[in-house]
Amino acid sequence: MSRRVVITGIGAVTPLGIGKDIYWKNLLAGKSGVILVDRLDLSEIATRIAAEVRDFSPEQWLEKREARRMDRFAQFAVAASKMALEDAALEITPELAPRVGTHIGSGVGGLNTLEKEAEIGFAKGIGKISPFFIPMMIANMGTGSVARIIGARGPSQTTVTACATSTNSIGDAFWLIREGKADVMVAGGAEAAITPMAMAGFSNMRAMSRRNDDPQRASRPFDRDRDGFILGEGAGVIVLEARDNAMARGAQIYAEVVGYGMSNDAYDMVAPSPSGDGAAAAMRAALEDAGAVPEQVEHINPHATSTPAGDVAETNAVKTVFGKHAKKIAISGTKSMTGHLLGAAGAVELIAAALAIRDSIVPPTINLDNPDDACDLDYVPHVARKLHVEYAMSNSFGFGGHNASVVLRAHHE
C-alpha cells in the first residue's frame, strides 16, 4: 500500500510572530526576530542575543492549571498543533481518533523546567523538587500533551536527533501515512531552549555569534563575516493527511510530501563532514524516495545555520547532488531571520517551503552582504523573489551527524 500524502494544515509559533500568516509575511519582508536578551543575566558569557518568541500567552491555548504543569516547549507544541488543526478544518471524531497520530519532536525538551528545579534543589533541598518535574521535562511531552489534548489515539512518537529532529518527525509521519498505518499525522517540532545554561553552553563552545551590538544582522548564512548561529525558539506543526481523505472532505492542500531521506555523517560529535557527503546522502535518498531527479528541484530551504563550517559543507553537498543544476536553485536561508530553533527548525522551514510552493514566491536570505567565496550558489540575497516552485527540498542537519531531507511537490490532480 502506497498512498499520496498532503499538507492540509499549518501552525507556527516563531520569533517572527505567532501564526502562519504573520510568520510568512515577516519572512517575505526580510524581518529579523533576533534581539538582545534582557530577561536573563548573560553578563558572564560572550553571546547575549537570541531569537525569542514574544507575546506568547499559553492561556490562549491551555487552561491556566494545565499551562502551569507544562514546560514552555510543550506549550508551544500544543499551540502550534491547535492552530494546524484549525487551519485544516479537521475534527478528530471518536471514529477517526485511532487513525490520527502525533509525531512532535524536541531536541532538548524541558530545559526551562530542568534549570528551575535544579535551582530549587540546590537552594532548598531535593525534597522541594516538584512532583511535576519529570513529566514537564521529558522530551516526549510535546507529543504526549498534544495527543491527549486533541484526542489523537493513533501512532505516537518523539524523535530526538538534535537539529534534524522535526524534519525526521515529519518524514517519519509521512511514511506512516503512505504505508497505511495512519490517515492523519500531526507532526513537527517544538523547542524552548533560550535558558542560561543553553546560552552558556553554546556560547562557550564558540558555536554562536557574538555580534551583540547588532542583533538583527548577527545571523548571516553564507556570508564571509558570519561568526556562528543565533539560538531561537518556537514550534512548527503541520497536519499531514492521506490525499484521498483530504480530497473527499474538500480540504485545502498546501503541497504534497513526496520524498524523505536521512543519513549520518559518522564523522564528529558536533562538526559536519567538510565534504558534505552525509548531507548529500540524505538529499539523494529523499529524491530517490520522491521518484524525482535533481533537475526538477527549483527551491531549497537549507539548514544554513550561519556557522563557518556548516554553510560550506552544505554548499558542497548541494553541488555534489545537483551538479550544474545547483546554480539554478533558489536557496533561502531563513535562519537569517528566525535564528536556529534547534529541534523545531526543520518544521518551521518546511512550512516556509510549502508556502513558497503555494504562493510562488521564495523568501530571502538577509544579511548576505559579502558572500563567502566557498558559498557560490543562488541564496536569494536580501529580497524575496517571485518564482514558480514545482519541487522544493527542506534540509536539516544535527549534532551527532544526523541528516534529514524532505521533498515537497506542488499538488496536482
Residue 72 has pLDDT above 80, yes or no: yes
Q: Where in the chain is the domain with CATH 3.40.47.10?
A: 5-248, 259-409
- Phi/psi of residue 258, nearest 5 degrees: -125, -15
Beta bridge partners of 190: 235
Q: Using an 8 Å Cβ cutoff, are 58 and 136 in contact?
A: no
- Phi/psi of residue 57, nearest 5 degrees: -115, 105
Residue 69 has pLDDT above 70, yes or no: yes
E-assigned strand segments in 43-135: 49-50, 100-105
Residue 1 has pLDDT above 70, yes or no: no
Coil, helix or strand for 36?
Answer: strand
- What cell numbers appear for 359 in the block? 504562493
pLDDT digits (tens, 9 = 90+) for 285-342: 999 999 999 999 999 999 999 999 999 999 999 999 999 999 999 999 999 999 999 9
Torsional class of 367: left (φ above 0), alpha (ψ -120 to 50), beta (otherwise): left
Residue 5 has pLDDT above 70, yes or no: yes
> What is the pLDDT averaged over residues 215-232?
98
Residue 375 has pLDDT above 90, yes or no: yes
Q: Which long-range contacts (CB under 8 A, 24 or more apart) does 33-38 make?
A: 33/232, 33/337, 33/338, 33/339, 34/215, 34/216, 34/218, 34/219, 34/230, 34/339, 35/215, 36/212, 36/215, 37/194, 37/199
**What distance in Å separates the CA atoms of residue 344 and residue 165, rounded to the nearest whole number?**
7
> What is the pLDDT averaged over residues 353-369?
98
> What is the pLDDT averaged over residues 249-268?
96
Output the pLDDT for position 413.
Answer: 77
First-to-final CA distance of the chain = 19
> What is the pLDDT averaged over residues 174-188?
98
The residue among 413, 409, 412, 398 whose CA lies nearest residue 163 is: 398
Question: Residue 255 is inside which H or E element, if any?
Answer: strand 255-264
Cβ neighbour number for residue 290 with a 10 Å cutoff: 23
Fold of 5-248: Peroxisomal Thiolase; Chain A, domain 1 (3.40.47)
Beta bridge partners of 91: none
**What distance in Å separates the CA atoms of residue 314 and residue 316, rounded to the nearest whole number?**
5
Output the pLDDT for position 354.
Answer: 98
Q: Using an 8 Å Cβ cutoff, are 234 and 76 in contact?
A: yes
pLDDT digits (tens, 9 = 90+) for 335-345: 999 999 999 99
Q: What is the CATH number of domain 259-409?
A: 3.40.47.10
Residue type at 237? V
pLDDT digits (tens, 9 = 90+) for 134-157: 999 999 999 999 999 999 999 999
Question: Residue 22 is inside which H or E element, if any?
Answer: helix 20-28
Residue type at 65? R
Active site residues: 163, 303, 340
Q: Using an 8 Å Cβ cutoff, are 136 and 71 in contact?
A: yes
Beta-carbon contacts of residue 293 (< 8 Å; ≥ 6 apart): 287
Mean pLDDT rounded to a whole number for the chain: 97
Residue 188 has pLDDT above 80, yes or no: yes
- What cell numbers appear for 285 in the block? 535518498
> What is the pLDDT averaged over residues 113-123?
95
517544538: which residue's cell? 190
Output the pLDDT for position 399.
Answer: 94
Q: Per-residue DSSP letters for 291-358?
A: T--GGG--EEE----S-HHHHHHHHHHHHHHHGGGGGGSEE--THHHH-B-GGGHHHHHHHHHHHHHH
**What distance in Å separates the CA atoms of residue 37 and residue 399, rounded to the nearest whole number?**
25
